[in-house]
Amino acid sequence: MTVGYKRSGRTRTSAPETIWVPKTKLGKMVLNGEIVSIEDVFAQGLKIQEPEIVDKLLPDLKDEVLSMNIVQKQTDAGEQTRFKVLVVVGNENGYVGVGSGKAKQIRAAIEKAKMYAKMSITPIRRGCGSWECACDKQHSFPFRTVGKCGSVKVELLPGPRGLGVVANDISSVILKIAGVKDCWSRSFGSTETTSSLALAVCDALKNTYRIVTPQDWVG
């Protein structure tokens, strides 16, 4: 049922609310209440294939547009122009994901990028691995971590409280939306390529969730 309202002598109707019908086993488990937290999803090693799962388990997600470009493709009907958007999503408390989308309209491209970012969301491990601080709070990383994408390599190092995020603009946005408040960073390779840089940062963040080895600790 739609609800109408009057404005400037015309009657408009709001878009009907869509009902989520899960298509995957994980989606059905979330909808039925068998899984009630995002931690359970990753603890069981389940793959997220529906963005509605993240909407249900992480309702406080925030998103930021990292880049927006125009791409062109030559077809039989002529030149086709579309928008390519790169988006990062996160809850500023240990979860982050990056996705890209293409569409003829900017809004559609953003929504598609957000959808892929939600399905690629990953948990990160935070802590205080800096010898200058050792405060035992989750404001930085517990150890050094490295991520790669193409020719780009990103290294993230624990920082003391009050340092802030010492990184370039793209990396800073991703780290802050992931919930990292203090860290050092170094990047190598073709860092002008925004997508490769963003995915390298996310790969470094994802690597914090793996098994820790003694070589990872700093100080």
**Cβ(43)–Cβ(26) below 8 Å:** no
The CB density around residue 143, as the number of other CB atoms within 10 Å, is 21
Which structural domain, as residue segments, surrounds residue 166?
Answer: 145-216
> Tokens representing 123?
């948990």
Please indicate, yes or no, whether residues 160 and 116 belong to a single structural domain of this protein: no
Q: Which of 122, 137, 168 is the last residue of a domain?
A: 122
> Tokens representing 42?
């990753």
Please indicate, yes or no, whether residues 49 and 115 belong to a single structural domain of this protein: yes
Please indicate, yes or no, whether residues 73 and 29 belong to a single structural domain of this protein: yes
Q: Is residue 200 part of a domain?
A: yes
Q: Whole-prediction pTM value?
A: 0.84
Please indicate, yes or no, whether residues 38 and 111 belong to a single structural domain of this protein: yes
Please indicate, yes or no, whether residues 115 and 173 belong to a single structural domain of this protein: no
Please indicate, yes or no, whether residues 117 and 176 belong to a single structural domain of this protein: no
Q: Which of 68, 87, 122 is the last residue of a domain?
A: 122
**Cβ(56)–Cβ(30) below 8 Å:** yes
Please give the pLDDT value at position 24.
93
Please indicate, yes or no, whether residues 180 and 115 belong to a single structural domain of this protein: no
The CATH number linked to 99 is: 3.30.160.20
Q: Is residue 17 part of a domain?
A: no
Q: Is residue 64 part of a domain?
A: yes
Q: Which of 122, 156, 174 is the last residue of a domain?
A: 122
Number of H helices, E strands in the chain: 6, 10
Q: Is residue 69 part of a domain?
A: yes
The CB density around residue 97, as the number of other CB atoms within 10 Å, is 28
The CATH number linked to 154 is: 3.30.230.10
> Exposed, middle or buried by CB within 10 Å (0-12, 13-18, 19+), for 83?
buried
Please give the pLDDT value at position 129.
87
Please indicate, yes or no, whether residues 43 and 110 belong to a single structural domain of this protein: yes
Please indicate, yes or no, whether residues 174 and 110 belong to a single structural domain of this protein: no
Q: Is residue 6 part of a domain?
A: no
> Tokens representing 90?
């996160």
Question: Which pLDDT tens digits describe the chain residue by residue (219 residues)?
Answer: 444 434 444 444 444 567 889 999 999 999 999 999 999 999 888 999 999 999 999 988 999 999 999 988 877 777 888 999 999 999 999 999 999 999 999 999 999 999 999 999 999 999 998 888 878 889 999 999 999 999 999 999 999 999 999 999 999 999 999 999 999 999 999 999 999 999 999 999 999 987 444 444 443
In the chain, the number of structural domains is 2
Q: Is residue 14 part of a domain?
A: no
Please indicate, yes or no, whether residues 37 and 113 belong to a single structural domain of this protein: yes
Q: Is residue 5 part of a domain?
A: no
Please give the pLDDT value at position 217.
43
* Amino acid code (one letter) for 191: T
Please give the pLDDT value at position 17.
61
Please give the pLDDT value at position 110.
95
Please indicate, yes or no, whether residues 30 and 82 belong to a single structural domain of this protein: yes
Q: Is residue 188 part of a domain?
A: yes
